Amino acid sequence: MAKENQFVEQIADIDADFPQWYTDVVLKTKLVDYGPVKGTMVIRPYGYAIWENIQKEMDKRFKAQGVENAYFPLLIPMSFFTKEAEHVEGFAPEIAVVTVAGGEPLAEPLAIRPTSETIIGTMYSKWIQSYRDLPLKINQWCNVMRWEKTTRPFLRTSEFLWQEGHTVHATAEEAEEETQKMLEIYKEFAENCLAIPVITGKKTEKEKFAGAVATYGMEAMMHDGKSLQAGTSHYLGQNFASAFDIQFLDKDGTHKTAYTSSWGVSTRLIGAIIMTHGDSRGLVLPPVVAPVQCVIVPIAAKKAGVSEACAKLRDELEQAGVRVKLDDSENSPGWKFNEWEMKGVPVRIELGPRDLEAGKILCARRDTLEKSEMALSGAADGIRALLQTVQKDMLEAARKRRDGRIVYAKDMDEILAGVENGNFVKAGWCGCRECEDKIKEKTAASARVYAEGETAETCAVCGKKAKHMIIYARAY
């Protein structure tokens, strides 16, 4: 067992120094590297493959909703941002600006998109004429840029990859429904594909998207009890439609201003996967998005028949649609166990001469570290079933961990104690910005979302009658 620990030493202790554990894990598993420009990241093949799997699963869901993909320009005239007052206030401080191009100074500086409501709104205004053009539902997969002071790979970087959906509707009801529908899709995706249980709900005015009427978020609890906003869906009302003149001729012959929504998730989700499921040995990846779902480690590979049997099993698993890797490198089995455990591969198969003789394989689950035997013949079906079990169990385990860490608080001290112990804290709120600010100031926790369907007696800050129950947490 000594060998099995050689890698563990290279990763900081997950409970003693979680931030260092995170940095160690993302770098050592080659998910990501730092780019040469401060605050930028390189998403390496192992990390990008997770993103590709996320894209595939999400894109399927979007298309099933009648959403089409398109691509809008990276550069947006700075003047576009000023058309929506709240929007410019929210984003101006983070914008990267192109002032020179083709060897000459530009007449108007151009922003690298931090988000694309303004440029997409401009095009929609041109494309939409009649109610027949509605609803219009377009998504784009792209890079965006927000100049951040403090950055961490996947969680907050100056450039990141995301999808941004932008829809236009004839009525407020329809746009609100779309906003909710996409939030539901995000939730279903997070739970079923990433095995991350999320709490969805409305954000406070303070925390909403700059320019939205209402923002809905999904919040996930990380290993340290902090919250990560894993996706947002915004009901924009007529704010952008008015600013960008998105009008349509309705059935009744009058011109009306449309209603819009926007929604997005980003490469942050990879950070959420790492910090939800990771353990002292490194990554634990959910099978649906794991680049490698199953690794085969030959034991005593030079013994008769072993490498042939491993190769045959690899081919069978591939045939069955399993993303499998046969590690036939010259490293020792112990080294390989550690390597693939650190990389979070959901299932490891060990196959040696004695297994071969007995017609079985040894399967080690990454999530529970449990080992079990399986018949070599017809193993593909067994492995597929095992991957499904792992996927399901990971969600349930994460849900159990999270649910045990949601507490109620009556006053500021209890909120502080709650978040210091790594909990999500539910507490009453009178609804005023002042109380919300005070909590942030004294506990470093923010209002994540309204706790839907729950009510409270009094505001934990001012003691006045509570209008809402809020989920407070420190957040990434």
**Residues at the site binding its own copies, with contacts judged by CB under 8 A:** 33, 35-37, 40-45, 47-49, 51-52, 68-77, 80, 92-103, 109-110, 112, 119, 122-123, 126-127, 138, 142-143, 145, 147-149, 158-159, 161
Nearer to its own copies by C-beta: 323 or 468?
A: 323
- For the bound state, the minimum distance from the C-beta of residue 78 to its own copies, rounded and expressed in Å, comes to 10
- For the bound state, the minimum distance from the C-beta of residue 277 to its own copies, rounded and expressed in Å, comes to 23
- For the bound state, the minimum distance from the C-beta of residue 113 to its own copies, rounded and expressed in Å, comes to 11
* Residue 221 φ then ψ, to 5°: -90, 125
| Whole-number Å distance between alpha carbons of 137 and 375 | 49
The full 3-state SS of 284-306, as one line of letters, equals CCCCCCCCCCEEEEECCCCCCCH
Q: What is 111-155 written as a DSSP string?
A: EEPSS-HHHHHHHHHHH--BGGG-SEEEEEEEEEE---SS-BTTT
| Token pair listed for 451 | 């706790």
| Token pair listed for 308 | 């042939």
- For the bound state, the minimum distance from the C-beta of residue 69 to its own copies, rounded and expressed in Å, comes to 5
Nearer to its own copies by C-beta: 3 or 126?
A: 126
Closest of 459, 475, 473 to residue 418, by C-alpha: 473
- For the bound state, the minimum distance from the C-beta of residue 123 to its own copies, rounded and expressed in Å, comes to 6
- For the bound state, the minimum distance from the C-beta of residue 174 to its own copies, rounded and expressed in Å, comes to 20
Nearer to its own copies by C-beta: 16 or 37?
A: 37
Closest of 181, 144, 147, 137 to residue 161, by C-alpha: 144
Contact 80, 118 (CB under 8 A): yes
Q: Which helix (H) or strand (E) holds 270?
A: helix 268-277
Nearer to its own copies by C-beta: 126 or 442?
A: 126
Classify each residue of 137-176 as buried b or exposed e, where b means 16 or more C-beta atoms within 10 Å of its C-beta.
Answer: bbbbbeebbbbbeebbbbbbbbbbbbbbbbbbbbeeebbb
Nearer to its own copies by C-beta: 35 or 333?
A: 35
Residue 406, Cβ density class (10 Å: 0-12 exposed, 13-18 middle, ≥19 buried) = middle
> Please, how many CA atoms are within 13 Å of residue 217, restricted to the half-sphere of its CB?
20
Nearer to its own copies by C-beta: 140 or 229?
A: 140
Nearer to its own copies by C-beta: 63 or 442?
A: 63
- For the bound state, the minimum distance from the C-beta of residue 399 to its own copies, rounded and expressed in Å, comes to 31
Q: Where are the beta strands (DSSP E) in 343-384?
A: 347-351, 360-365, 371-375
Nearer to its own copies by C-beta: 221 or 290?
A: 290
Q: Which helix (H) or strand (E) holds 76?
A: strand 75-77
Nearer to its own copies by C-beta: 51 or 424?
A: 51
- For the bound state, the minimum distance from the C-beta of residue 159 to its own copies, rounded and expressed in Å, comes to 5
Distances (CA, A) of 413 to 334, 348, 416, 442, 448: 49, 46, 5, 9, 18
Contact 429, 468 (CB under 8 A): yes
- For the bound state, the minimum distance from the C-beta of residue 474 to its own copies, rounded and expressed in Å, comes to 24
Nearer to its own copies by C-beta: 80 or 472?
A: 80
Sorted by sequence, the CB contacts under 8 Å of residue 315 that are 6+ apart come out as: none
Helix axes 172-193, 45-64, angle to 10 degrees: 140
Nearer to its own copies by C-beta: 36 or 453?
A: 36
| Whole-number Å distance between alpha carbons of 234 and 257 | 18
Nearer to its own copies by C-beta: 291 or 418?
A: 291
Place of tokens 């997070």: 190
- For the bound state, the minimum distance from the C-beta of residue 104 to its own copies, rounded and expressed in Å, comes to 9
Closest of 466, 460, 463, 468 to residue 443, by C-alpha: 460
- For the bound state, the minimum distance from the C-beta of residue 39 to its own copies, rounded and expressed in Å, comes to 9
- For the bound state, the minimum distance from the C-beta of residue 258 to its own copies, rounded and expressed in Å, comes to 18
Residue type, 14: I
